[in-house]
Amino acid sequence: DVALSDPRDIHLDFHETPALHSWSQVYQNPGQNIQSLLDFEGKNIVVLDQSIQQSYLDSALKGFGVNAKLTPVTQYEDGFKLVEAGLADAVVSNHHFGNYTTNIFNVEETPIIFLPNGLYFATAENENPALLATIDQQLQAWQADTQSFYYDTLRKWGGEPIISEVPRYIWWALITSLILLGVTLLASSHLRREVKRRKQRLAESESLRNIILDAVDACIYIKDSQLHYLYVNEAAAKLFNRPATDIIGKKDEDLFDLDTVRKLNQIDRLVMTKGERFAGEEIDTTRNDNKTTYFYSVKIPLRNTKNEINGLCGISTDITEQRNFRETIEKLSRYDALTALPNRSYFFEQLETRLKNNTTRLVNAALIIINIDDFRLLNDTQGHRVGDLLLAAFAKTISNLCQPEDLVARLVGDSFVVYLDELPTLYAQANKQVLGLADKLRKQLGRPYRLEQLNYQGSVSIGATVFNGHNTNAQEALKQAELALYQAKAAGRGSMRIFEPEMEAIATARSEMERGLRQAIERDEFILHYQPQIDNDQGIVGVEALVRWQHPQQGLTSPASFIPLAELTGLIIPLGKKVLQMACTQLAEWQTHAATQHLTVAVNVSAKEFFDDGFVDYVSRTLEETGAPPAHLELELTESQLMQDVNAAITKMHTLRQKGIRLSLDDFGTGYSSLSQIQQLPVDQLKIDAVFVRDLVFNRNDIAIVQTIISLGKALNLEVIAEGIETQAQRDVLARLGCHKYQGFFYGKPQPAALLTKKLTQV
């Protein structure tokens, strides 16, 4: 039998007299307290699949705004089994089956009844009208006799004797239920509105909370007592590259590597067992990308209403960038940014530690200082970028030649330092080992280096000291190595020296001389002497200006005693300006006398002066201030200094030539310039170095070299002058080879300008 409904009435035929009267009723697990449809909130209710009860409840619950789960089954019995097993909260059934099965299953009926209806037999439309009429006739007869088979069947299966209408008490029950339901609905309507309003306020509050917490640039999370994640904000979700919902319920084991999990669990357990706040750094490595992040975390225990700790709340701020920045700052304070080597201060910090740990008197140690020759010139001519490339390359070479246990550092701008310990106890053996390394460094650093477009081959000067680490401190060792370096620099480019005790006396004298040299420049203690330059046909055609130091105590001092020191200390630049000023002043004076106005004055210029940025401007200004004619000023430049940067030298030389100044290539033949390079140099004269003149009379090699230089000068239309002529024989050989311009003691020693002027005006 089925209930009559509009869809069924369209396709089926029904008889007139109901076979039974039924309604739907809710049966619950004894542990539940379901009294109305509103109590379905959050409950699991079992219904017959595709039944009228299912569609009715689905519509009614939506209308009431009740959120319940409707679980469909194919037969009522299955629903009662689920309720009895505690897998569902209630089941909906027609009351006939429900009343029968309450004696079988441990369920109880509720006052919730709905969908009262008659039950009928049905046939296909228009196919069995006689059968339906017979059923009506039989039902009416059975229902009229309380002793009939109809009532016996109802009594047997637990049904009520229903004849033609629902019993009165059922209707009263339904009416009462509806009234109660109405009152309940009226009372709960306000309650639902209040609940809805509070839910909305709570949702808005939670939404606002989430917006605030997600905007925080830190990971915020809550864990339960078993360290499962109950809440994470957006920053935490981004850390794991997962949605927050995927993290809830997981533990650290699912998210971090094992080492991180061990440390996190230790801290978290400490917070929850001791109930204390934790604040400190954590290093976390995530499993998904093996990324390590540094956090500053604050964790506090969470308590329930009984003041029992049931979890923790943590805030972890990513400090990776700050930590890296701090490490970078610390590294910059200890290491040279360009070469990545320890800087001076950190080197000496390490050195002092090494020396303090050296408890034996027998072990020797060594300090080696490597200084790049003419590094400032490279910077000035090629730019600091090229200089930086050379420093980086040198640092790599030095590190590769040293042992891992050696200390290598960048001492100052153009100097490196190496510390060796655990050297042989015998000084001679230790000294040999240090000299061996120093020689390797000198040779390797003297090879060609490719610096962008420049093939650069420079040199280094090396000073070293071997000392007993137990008896010598870091500053003393450095002083000894610097003294050795000074001696190496004085010996010329590419030299190396090892410290000897007498160097301290030399250094003291050098220090005194340097102080005196500075004072001499300030006090104008320098004067010029002039050595004649002779033309074979014209006599004296010029002079070379040679500086002398009129020392207050030592008298007239040769330039050989102070020029190298001036070069080394940089005092050559102010000294050179003094010399040029005096020479141009004298040149202007000679222009006022007919006997001397034809003279050319030659002035030596060092590499440091020539490549100084303000050199050309100073020369021009000096000529203008003194009134000396540029055409009678000759600047002598050495071949070796020009070869340091040919292109820069040529540019500067052209500028000087355009101003009318003559240029002479001094000490020609001692350098390594090629014919092509000489052709590019805008010079007026080649000067044969005295070294080739000294043995010219009997040395065939010198004769060949001089002959070549003279021939080259003629080929390039350049004047050629020889210096260092001391005998008639030397002069005669030069004349025979084709050189007709001379300078040397044979023609006159350097002399004051007044004496030379007197000689020339008396002729």
DSSP conformation letters of 214-247: HHSSSEEEEEETT--EEEE-HHHHHHHTS-HHHH
**d(C-alpha 447, C-alpha 459), whole Å:** 8
Task: Give the sign of the dihedral formed by CA 550, CA 551, CA 556, CA 560.
Answer: negative
Q: Which residues pair with 221 in a beta bridge?
A: 232, 314
Question: What does CATH list as the number for 2-181?
Answer: 3.40.190.10
Residue-wise pLDDT for 273-305, tens only, equals 999 999 999 988 887 778 888 999 999 999 998
d(CA 153, CA 260): 74
H helix or E strand, kind and range, residue 510? helix 503-523
Chain region(s) in the chain for CATH 3.20.20.450: 531-543+572-762
For residues 354-373, average pLDDT: 83
Domain with CATH 3.40.190.10 in the chain: 2-181
Q: Are strands 526-535 and 741-743 parallel, antiparallel or unpaired?
A: antiparallel
Question: Using CA atoms, how far apart are residues 536 and 538, in angstroms rounded to an integer?
Answer: 6
Residues forming beta bridges with residue 25, ordered by sequence position: 93, 113
Q: What is the mean pLDDT of residues 1-15?
A: 71
pTM over 0.75: no
How far apart are alpha carbons 482 and 488 in whole angstroms?
10
Distance CA 634, CA 603 (A): 6
Q: What is the rounded average pLDDT of the residues 105-114?
A: 89
**What is 531-543+572-762's CATH number, 3.40.50.720, 3.40.50.11540, 3.20.20.450, 3.20.20.80?**
3.20.20.450
pLDDT digits (tens, 9 = 90+) for 615-644: 999 999 999 999 999 999 999 998 777 777
Q: How far apart are CA 660 and CA 532, in angstroms?
A: 22
pLDDT, tens digit (0-9, with 9 covering 90-100), for 223-237: 999 999 999 999 999
Q: Residue 735: which H helix or E strand, with range?
A: helix 728-737
Please choose, from the candidates 64, 108, 58, the residue with its C-alpha nearest in 3D space to the C-alpha of residue 83.
108
Per-residue model confidence (pLDDT) at position 165: 47
Pairing of strands 685-688, 719-723: parallel
Q: Within 10 Å of residue 521's Cβ, how many Cβ atoms?
A: 17
Percentage of the chain beyond pLDDT 70 is 91
- Summarize pLDDT for 551-593 with one digit per residue, the tens: 888 888 888 888 888 887 889 999 999 999 999 999 999 999 9
CATH architecture of the domain with range 336-500: 2-Layer Sandwich (3.30)
**Distance from C-alpha of 555 to C-alpha of 480, rounded to nearest angstrom:** 32
Burial code of 734-751, b = ≥16 C-beta within 10 A, e = fewer?
Answer: beebebbbbbbeebbebb
Decide if pLDDT at 362 tops 70.
no
422: left (phi over 0), alpha (psi -120 to 50) or beta: left
Token reading at 228: 């499962």
Let me know: does 83 contact 107? Beta carbons within 8 Å: yes
Q: Which residues of 651-661 are buried (b: 16+ CB within 10 A; e: fewer)?
A: ebbebbeeeeb
CATH class of 216-323: alpha beta
396-421 tens-digit pLDDT: 999 999 999 999 999 888 999 999 98
Average pLDDT, whole number, for the chain?
Answer: 86
d(CA 579, CA 603): 8
At residue 167, the pLDDT reads 53
Q: Which long-range contacts (CB under 8 A, 24 or more apart) does 231-235 make?
A: none
pLDDT of amino acid 182: 58
Q: What length is written for the chain?
A: 763
Instruction: Give Dmax over CA atoms of the chain in angstroms.
Output: 178
State the span(s) of the chain assigned CATH 3.30.70.270.
336-500
* 3-state DSSP of 351-418: HHHHHHHCCCCCCEEEEEEEEECCHHHHHHHHCHHHHHHHHHHHHHHHHHHCCCCCEEEEEECCEEEE
Nearest alpha carbon to residue 536 among 690, 755, 737, 714 = 737
For the chain, give every residue range classified as CATH 3.30.450.20. 216-323
Can you give the pLDDT at residue 179? 62
The identity of residue 707, as a single letter, is: Q
Would you state the pLDDT for residue 195? 62
* DSSP symbols for 627-668: T--GGGEEEEEEHHHHTTSHHHHHHHHHHHHHTT-EEEEEEE
pLDDT at 162: 46
Q: How far apart are CA 242 and CA 406, in angstroms?
A: 49
CA-to-CA distance for 673 and 709, rounded, in angstroms?
12
- Range from 12-26, 150-164, 332-346 that averages highest in pLDDT: 332-346
174 has a pLDDT exceeding 60: no
DSSP string, 283-344: EEEBTTT--EEEEEEEEEEEE-TTS-EEEEEEEEEE-HHHHHHHHHHHHHHHB-TTT-SB-H
